[in-house]
Amino acid sequence: MIKKEFCAENFTRVPEAISLGASRIELCDRLDVGGTTPSKEVIKETLDYAHKHDVSVVTMVRPRGGSFVYDQNEKEQIIRDAKEAIALDVDGIVFGCLTEQGTIDRELTEKLINIAGSKESIFHMAFDSIPDEKQTQALNWLIEKGCTRILTRGGKTGTALENKNRINALIDKAQSDIEILPGGGITHADLENIKIEIPAEQYHGTKVIPLS
């Protein structure tokens, strides 16, 4: 069964997305800057509705747009937001933290995976900013630490379909040790073709569901 993860900016389109087949909601604020942490009230409203319809909700934990390199105050905010989201009973948290060298910020990332605990931990498209030659090492480290899933468009730019070779290579390397979630320019109109070109078990996007 193919999963469709709808990327929602606030609660507004969530009911329609669920009615049209969304099996998971990635809840964000400020998609214009790539997504930030939604408010507690929006998380509560979304959880209440989605869980009544047997749909899971994962929440973005990101203090701002821009780079994925965070200072100490931002790191503390990320940790607070992650703990708050888990306390509200989200099904997972979505994050991506890098060093100045473009590698995973291991200390912060491990803390977030541990905060998620038995819930899902998702490393988002910050993964695509890791240098190509360091991505296998990053993948293996995330597997070792028990990360649930990586959201990727297969490159810093372009669509998932344009970057299909890299995404398929990640899927092959991941095996069943970590989920690979393709995203980036995937729409409901081209999903059938994308399933052939990128044979994943789940797909992500703001247009992966045919909203009116």
Output the pLDDT for position 1. Answer: 82
Query: Where do runs of H (alpha helix) occur along 20-161?
Result: 40-52, 72-87, 106-116, 132-144
* pTM passes above 0.95: yes
Query: Which pLDDT tens digit goes with each residue over 160-181?
Result: 999 999 999 999 999 999 999 9
Residue 148: Cβ within 10 Å count: 18
Phi-psi category of residue 102: left, alpha or beta, with phi > 0 → left and psi -120 to 50 → alpha: left
Tell me which fold the domain 3-205 belongs to: TIM Barrel (3.20.20)
Output the pLDDT for position 102. Answer: 95
Residue 185: Cβ within 10 Å count: 16
- Distance, in Å, from the CA atom of 153 to the CA atom of 119, rounded to the nearest integer, reads 24
Query: Which pLDDT tens digit goes with each residue over 8-43?
Result: 999 999 999 999 999 999 999 999 999 999 999 999
Query: Which pLDDT tens digit goes with each residue over 88-108?
Result: 999 999 999 999 999 999 999
Contact between 170 and 180 under an 8 Å Cβ cutoff? The reply is: yes
Closest Cα partner for 27 from 3, 68, 72, 61? 61
> Mean of the per-residue pLDDT values for the chain?
97
